[in-house]
Amino acid sequence: MDDMLAAVLYAKWDPKPEYKPTPKDIEGKLTYLGGLVWRYPELRVERRPIPKIKEDEVLIKVKACGICGSDIHMYESDKDGYILYPGLTAFPCVLGHEFSGEIVKVGEKAYNQWGEKFEVGTPVTAEEMVWCGYCRHCRDGYPNHCINLQEIGFSRDGAFAEYIAVPARVVWEITEIVERYGEKKGYEAGALVEPTSVAYNGIFERGGGFRPGAYVVVFGAGPIGLAGIALSKAAGAAKVIAVEIAEARQKLAKEMGADVVIDPTKIDSVSGKILEVTHGEGADMYVEAAGAFPKTWPAIEETIWNGEKVNAKVVAIGRAVTHVPLQFEVLQVRRAQVFGAQGHSGHGIFPSVINLMASGKIDMTKIVTHRFKLEDAAEALKFASKQKSNIGKVLIKP
């Protein structure tokens, strides 16, 4: 068989008047400003040639791929037909970047982290961010900020497909996860390594983590927030407080280990409730995984100011193009810090998350609420778009 089934997003290149090309934009093909350019998105499930691999790549037979909020935002459009996703995009493109699968073909120079050639039959997952390895940011150890970054499922073909070609340098073995959970559940866990690694990067790499016994507040109980809850509990947080408005995700937050779940719509003050359950101290770390800064930042700032703790950390993982007022006096007097977090690559993040899953310290498969066949990918995205906060993780399984 030379072809495969794949879910491909098509869109029309039709820049808005305010669009100003970046130096790396390619007319009619690629832009770093997706929401200003791409119009009338359409997802088609079609047959395509199986990818040809380069000498440093592996071909992976996809076993499971999660639907991310980014996938939904590329599929959705505003009243004028422009996609909602603002970033790096190149269409047509096979969507999907949270995936796992089995290696079926290995390039001549496709080596694993130990300098050995990958083997056919190895269960793997992969980073979504394809960093170049030679630009200044990569050389300085910041692959998440690669100048020549390409992204699986955004600017190069992704894993809403039967097969995907991936550079070996971003591929990680998940044999121990599959052995622990069995093949079906193991590959589902493998598809959750990527979003879990996003939370890990924010909390531990960018934010520097916290001491065991700390209080942690997580705003937003979507997949990233749920991962943040699980990771915080595994790292020894004495109390994890989740702030979430959707009832379905409140239940998932408890399932993942949240000690307290706050519904902002049912109380007068989120800050007051956090202070109440932390005995007036406030938290050691606040994780913003909601991307709702105009609502979450005032609550965080108020809690830091009125709490007894100093040296609190705020980690911004949620994404939103919004501006919020910030009172520097609060940060200065309370010795607080704010950290911006992007991506999941480098710093031992993927292997650490894989080890946590394989050891049973975290079980992210609990957040999977729906599964669709690859041929139903369009219906799956439509469902995820409509349901959003009423669901956990939706998987597409070829």
Q: How many angstroms separate the CA atoms of 153 and 159, rounded?
A: 7
Cis peptide before 21 (omega within 30 of 0): no
Q: Is 77 a catalytic residue?
A: no
Q: Is 73 a catalytic residue?
A: yes
**Of residues 70, 100, 197, 345, which has the active-site annotation?**
70
Catalytic sites, residue numbers: 70, 73
